[in-house]
Amino acid sequence: QEFTEPGPSANGDTFLVKPNTGVQDIADQLERRGLISDARVFRLGVRAFGNDSALKAGEYEIKPRASMRDIMELLKSGKSVMYSLTIPEGLTVDQALQRIAEETALSGDMPATTPPEGSLATDTLRFTRGATRQQMVDKLLADQKKLVDDVWQRRAPDLPLANVEEFVTLASIVEKETGKGDERSRVAAVFLNRLAKGMRLQSDPTIIYGLFGGKGKPADRPIYQSDIQKQTPYNT
């Protein structure tokens, strides 16, 4: 009966089960944390239900007054706490990587090399504690490649762009030029028209990228005439 009675924790808590942790250690940790009243009863109950080897590693949200059976079923389910990390539109690769690096629920090092600009998708990543930073970067790379390949295959035949790299570059410029989604088609049309006529794009974001790279321009820093005239590989 004690196995199914409401537990001692009035507030509940998160509880982390590391890989290869046995039932005895799990029970002892639960008792020390005040999430169950008796580690021995928990062990016996888990064994009686035949779940000695069924409890899964993960981070779990233990509800207030959860019974030992509730906790057993939760740990058996593997339904870990989910975290989310949003990479919004308009970030440079450096800025996106910085968000991933600063997420404390992720583990592992960042990639040794920085991916090319425009190669990361804008997305909300969902993951469990312990997922690696490399996994997050790999997912954003794969999602963006799939999206770009699909759009490039369906492009208009008279698009004045030589290859998919030019397409990604222009899309990145348009994204930086306006933060409003409903304006992007108009901005893109202006730029494509200029390209078709052999004109310069005259886009401020390319000036900024040439000056500050992927770190972005400080908010209080204006663009000077000398910035516009400065020759960089990116100034259009």
Count CB atoms within 10 A of the CB of residue 38: 16
Confidence (pLDDT) at 170: 76
pLDDT in tens, 78-134: 999 999 999 998 888 999 999 999 999 999 999 999 998 889 999 999 999 989 999
Confidence (pLDDT) at 85: 97
- Buried b vs exposed e over 168-182: b needs ≥16 C-beta within 10 Å? bbbbbbbbbbeeeee
Angle at 132 between CA 62 and CA 30, to 5 degrees: 25
Confidence (pLDDT) at 235: 47
Cα dihedral 212→216→218→222 (10° resolution): 70
Which domains are present in the chain? 13-77 (3.30.1490.480), 82-154 (no CATH)
Confidence (pLDDT) at 234: 52
| 58, amino acid identity | G
Q: Distance (Å, rounded) from C-alpha 121 to C-alpha 143?
A: 6
Tell the residue number behind the tokens 């239900």, with chain if given.
49
Q: Distance (Å, rounded) from C-alpha 195 to C-alpha 138?
A: 33
Confidence (pLDDT) at 209: 61
Confidence (pLDDT) at 161: 76
Q: Give the predicted TM-score (pTM) of the model.
A: 0.70
Confidence (pLDDT) at 206: 59
User: Which residue positions in the chain have pLDDT lower than 70?
Assistant: 174, 177-182, 190, 201-236
Q: Distance (Å, rounded) from C-alpha 143 to C-alpha 80?
A: 24
